[in-house]
Each structure stands twice: as C-alpha cells, then as structure tokens.
C-alpha cells in the first residue's frame, strides 16, 4: 500500500500539481540549471521526446515562493524534465488559469511542454 501512495505522489507531481522545489532532490535542482527551454515558436535542435509535462505556478499564499510567475512555472518544467531523464524542454507554452480545483490555487500560470533528450551528433559522447 505504501508503494501505491508513493506512486500516486510521483504521478501527481508529474501531472502538474502545484509543486515547489522542495519536491525535488538537490542533484535534480543542480542539473535543472543546465536545461535549455525552447518555446513552441522555436525549432529546437535534434532530440528524442520523452514525455509531455505540465507545471503550475500558483498563488496559494505559500511562503518563500514566487507565485503565479512564468519563471517559476518554467523552472518546474525543467525540474520535471530532469526527473524524467531529459536535458531539454521543448514546445512549451504558458497561460493563466483562474481557480484550480486540483491545487486549490486562486490564480495560476500553467505551462505545458515536452521533456526531451538532445541527440548528439555521431562521434560525440
């Protein structure tokens, strides 16, 4: 039963609930600093898609957060990309949402994109 709840926690985190950096390990935070992000309007380099991802920057009166910002929402996309084994976020777009029943946020900025891994040219390691 414990595994079920752990699995549900990871599924909720990857689904886009209002997460914070406290939901990630220190090594994931360090690695996310190097993740590049390409908006939907930019063609990224060659890559291999891993999974669709979402994030939610939320005005929930949480302390030590920058609620309802594009920067926080994009940062959470990068962290989720690392957790999935990727090194780049592609095709991301963001939009404002009013009350979110899942995260109980009064207003949020939701970003959606795709976690991916860059394909290195032949001969590079």
Model confidence pLDDT, tens digit, residues 25-61: 999 999 999 999 999 999 998 999 999 999 888 765 5
Question: pTM to 2 decimals?
Answer: 0.73
CB 67 within 8 Å of CB 49:
no
CB under 8 Å to 26, separation ≥6 — which residues? none
The more confidently predicted of residues 50 and 98 is 50
Task: List the single range of 15-24, 49-58, 112-121 with lowest mean pLDDT.
Answer: 15-24
CB under 8 Å to 8, separation ≥6 — which residues? none
Q: What does the alpha-carbon distance between residue 28 and residue 25 come to, in Å, rounded to a whole number?
A: 5
| C-alpha distances in Å from residue 2, one per residue of 5, 17, 45, 60 | 5, 20, 41, 28
* Percent of the chain predicted with pLDDT > 90: 45
Q: What does the alpha-carbon distance between residue 56 and residue 33 come to, in Å, rounded to a whole number?
A: 19
Q: What are the structural domains, with CATH classification, of the chain?
A: 2-118 (3.30.110.70)
């Amino acid at each position: 039963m414990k595994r079920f709840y752990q699995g549900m926690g990871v599924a909720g985190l990857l689904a886009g609930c209002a997460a914070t950096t406290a939901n990630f390990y220190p090594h994931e935070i360090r690695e996310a600093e190097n993740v590049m992000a390409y908006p939907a309007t930019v063609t990224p380099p060659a890559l291999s898609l891993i999974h669709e991802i979402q994030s939610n920057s939320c005005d929930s009166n949480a302390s030590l957060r920058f609620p309802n910002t594009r920067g926080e929402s994009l940062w959470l996309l990068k962290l989720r990309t690392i957790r999935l084994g990727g090194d780049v976020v592609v095709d991301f777009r963001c939009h404002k949402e009013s009350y979110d029943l899942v995260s109980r946020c009064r207003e949020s900025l939701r970003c959606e994109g795709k976690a991916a891994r860059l394909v290195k040219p032949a001969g590079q390691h």
